[in-house]
Every structure is written in C-alpha cells, then in structure tokens.
A = this chain, B = another copy of it.
Amino acid sequence: MMAQSDLDLKETALKEDLKFYFMNPCEKYRARRQIPWKLALQILKILMVTTQLIFFGLSNQLVVSFKEENTVAFKHLFLKGYSGVDEDDYSCSIYTQQDAYDSIFYIINQYMRLKNISLGTLGYEHEGSGLKICKQQYKKVTMLPSNDTLNIDVSTETECIFFKPQELAGKKAELKLNSSFFSLEFYRLIQVEISFKLKGIALQTVHARELPDCYVFQNTITFNNRAHSGKIKIYFDSDTDIQECKDWHVFGSVLQKNTQYILIFDGFVILSCFASLILCTRSIVLALRLQKRFVNYFLEKYKRHVCHADRLEFINGWYVLVIISDVMTIIGSILKMEIKAKNLTSYDVCSILLGTSTLFVWVGVIRYLGYFQTYNVLILTMQASLPKVLRFCCCAGMIYLGYTFCGWIVLGPYHEKFEDLNTVAECLFSLVNGDDMFATFAQIQQKSMLVWMFSRLYLYSFISLFIYMILSLFIALITDSYDTIKVKHFFFPLHF
C-alpha cells in the first residue's frame, strides 16, 4: 500500500518533471515563473559572437589585401612578360631557350635594382643568403631522340649559386653571371629555383590606429621543366610571415589602445560561451538523470525496457549543437588572441572555428522560432523529410559516382572540366543545378568522333536523368512530408 502510494507520488513527480522538461521557455515562465536565463544568454551570445567575427574579418581583410597586393607587385616586378593574370596554377610559361635565359637574368637584374624600381617599402634581408639560384638536373643524360636512344641516370643533382645584395653591382657579380652555371642543358634540366627574402612594413594599419606590422616575404620563383615537353612553367610563390617590428617609434597618434579593447571583448566572448557551455551541459546532465528515473519507473511499472528511440528523445539535439558551437568559439577566440599577439599565424584554423561556430549559433535561432506554432510546421517538415532525402541522395549518389568515374576516364583528356575526379564531381553537380551547359557541351574537342558522340550521350543522359527525374523526386518527397506534417501537426503538436 505504502509502496503503491510511494510509486504514485514518484509517478506524479516524474510526470510533473517530464512535463516541465518538454516545455519551451515561455511556458516554463508561465508555469513556474522561471526566468529564461539560458534564452537571454543565447541571444547575448549571438550578438557577441557575430560582432567578434565581424571585427576579426575586417582586420583580417587589411592583412590579406596587403599580402595579395604585394604578391601581385612582385609578379609584375620579377616575371618578364607577366600579363597580369595567372595562367592556370602557374604564373606564366616560356617556350624558347632565349626566353628562359632572359627571364632568369631579368629576375637577377630586377632584384639588384629593387630599391630604385619598387614602389613598396621593401628592404633586403641582410643576415640571409641574398638571391639563391638552384638548378636541379639529372646526373647524366645522353639522348638522341632521332635514334630513339636514351642513356639516363635517374638520380638528380642540385647546384646552387648565391648573389648577395651588396655585391650585386660589383665585378664579382659579373663574374658569376658569366659562369658556366648559367649554360643550362635543357634536356637534363629538371627545374631552376630562384629564391630570396624581402622585408616590408605595412603602414596602412596606422590609419586603423593599430601598430604597423613588419613582414618577411619569402619569394620563390620556380622554372619547372619536369615534363620536358618544351614548355617551362614559371611558378611564383610568396610566403609571408608577420613579425612584430623590433624597433619602432610612432609620433602624433595614440595607437595600441584599440588592441586592448579588442582583447577585453574577446575575453567577454569566451566568458559568455563558457557560461552557456556550463548551462547546456547541466541541462543535458539533468536530462540524463530524468531519463534514468523514467527508465527505472517504466521498468518498475510495466516490467519493460524503454525503447532506444524514446530514450534518445531526452537528449535535446539543440543543446549538443550549442555545446559544439561554444567549444569552437572558445578555442577560436583563444587562437585569435594569440594571433593578435603575433604568437601564431594559423589564420585559417581560427577563421574556420569562428565561422563554423557562428553558423551554428545562427542555425540555433531556428529553435526559438520553432516555439511559434506557424513556424514549427516548416521546421518539422524539414526534419521529417531529411531522412528520406538522405536515403534518396544515397541512391542518386551511386549513379552520380558512376557518372563521375566514367566522365573522368573518357572525357578527361578532351575537356578541362573533366581533368580531375574532383572537378568532374563539381562540374556534374553544377550542371544539375543549372550551370553554363552550353559551354560544357562546346568545350569538348572534336578530335575523336567516337568520344564526341559519347560525350553527347553522356551529357544528355546525365542532365535529363538528374534534372527531370531526380530533382522532381525531391519535390515529390518534400511535398509529401509537408502534407504528412500538416495533418499530424493538428493532432499532436510537438516541441523539441
């Protein structure tokens, strides 16, 4: 009797708790006058995280544009006949021996005269080795293509020569330029690599009331003859390193303070994320405890285990999203502070962390919109159709993969967009979504009639299949889900 009443009491308490657990903040406030701290915190967090992201992006932009403009300026200064636009992944290409020699000596010359021609705030690096020219070639090659004769020692040797900036105008430099190093044997040459370090100072940040940064540009120009196809590709690569200027004096303005405000703001962001992290973790812990109680109670009363799906219902997916987002923001913010302090340069990792967390935070807003009845239908439709859509994507994905492989192997040699497994996938994906189809059709070279016929069959069949069949099926799937949800919604509306 006692136990029964005890069970009854437990049941009532559990029911009450369960009811409360599945309430949304408005209902909770109405029921127990519980002020929705979590909600307020989330809204504050959205504002702070977005503000932080925007500041980071804006300061990033200055650095990036400075780097890029310098790279462009270097290309114009050092690459002979540079057109202003890169060919493919290399900057330019040469086809004659004369051009090769000209290009190399042009670089040496421009490097020598740098102070007199450059518009930037550049300087040589004195401790370094100056201009370093290395040529890599096969150890021994005797080849007579006319006779199909070839003697080759596959092992390579690398020879280097150095030009110090201070000696460049002198006699010593002249001697070096006339040395046998510069009589290149193109049939065994693999590559010539010219590298040098330059230092620069970015004054632009002064306008933003920040300290000027000192940059080190590690430029590498590579003459790539690896293919021995009669075309040497010239790559220009500029690695940029940001350092704190060692010895600086700035008059006439108060800088630096700005930096401190940003650091303090970053601290607040970390703090708020930490608070949100703790609150959400607490909620999940509470939920798990409630789940345990429920499972026990269920076992006690009905002698059955609660099924897996019902158990999962206790774990609120939104909390998991918030936790992931919080952890990313915290790590990202710490990285950001380190970057600001010039200890780290992993901009990319930091921006991916902050960017993704902001994406999650904004997606999280949908949850609060879901508290309103009318918005909920849409969210539920998306949730309901998601598994169907994914399942269908699986099927379509198989056909897609097959087409990708097939297109790559057959059309690869004849079409730029099919050169790479990766670009084939992108090209097909783009075609389905209405990309410039005619250009894709037209670019296929009419060298081989067989391949041309195949390409037409391939493209027409792929596009028709995917646009007419598969896209239509998507619409059918989602319309179906929408109808289901609309009916269901009026009988047992769910919140979660």
Contact = CB atoms under 8 A, between A and B. Distances in A.
A203 B253 CA distance: 53
Contact of A73 (B56, B141, B231): B231
Interface in A321-358: 347-349, 351-352, 354-356, 358
Nearest to A369: B395
- Chain A at the B interface: SS class: helix
A373 to B, nearest CB: 10
A175 interface: no
A438 B438 contact: no
Interface in A422-468: 423, 426-427, 429-431, 433-438, 441-442, 446, 448, 450-451, 454, 460, 463-464, 467-468
A17 B362 CA distance: 52
B475 A253 contact: no
Contacts of A385: 469
B246 A409 contact: no
A168 interface: no
Contact of A359 (B212, B406, B463): B406
Contacts of A379: 395
A168 to B, nearest CB: 15
Interface in A37-68: 50, 53-54, 56-57, 60-61, 64-66
Given A139-B252, A246-B149, A467 B433 contact: yes
Contact of A230 (B69, B206, B253): B69
Contact of A227 (B65, B442, B446, B472): B65
Given A57-B409, A231-B73, A154 B472 contact: no
A202 B227 CA distance: 7
A457 B110 CA distance: 42
B249 A150 contact: yes
A291 interface: no
Between A250, A410, A448, the greatest number of chain B beta carbons within 10 A of the residue's beta carbon is seen for: A410
Interface string A467-479: 1110111111111
Nearest to A463: B433
A135 interface: no
Contacts of A120: 186, 228-231
Interface in A191-247: 198-204, 206-207, 212, 214, 225-232, 243, 245-247
Nearest to A386: B469
Nearest to A388: B374
Given A355-B405, A434-B433, A229 B73 contact: yes
B429 A433 contact: no
Contacts of A388: 374
Interface stretch (A90-98, A256-264, A268-276, A297-305): A90-98
Nearest to A214: B148
11 contacts: A64-B412, A149-B247, A348-B410, A351-B410, A358-B405, A362-B399, A378-B391, A378-B392, A386-B469, A469-B478, A475-B479
Closest CB pairs A-B (n = 10): A120-B230, A362-B402, A434-B434, A73-B230, A123-B145, A69-B229, A430-B437, A123-B146, A355-B406, A472-B478
Given A348-B450, A365-B398, 11 more contacts: A64-B412, A65-B227, A73-B231, A120-B186, A121-B187, A123-B146, A355-B405, A382-B473, A426-B438, A426-B441, A426-B442
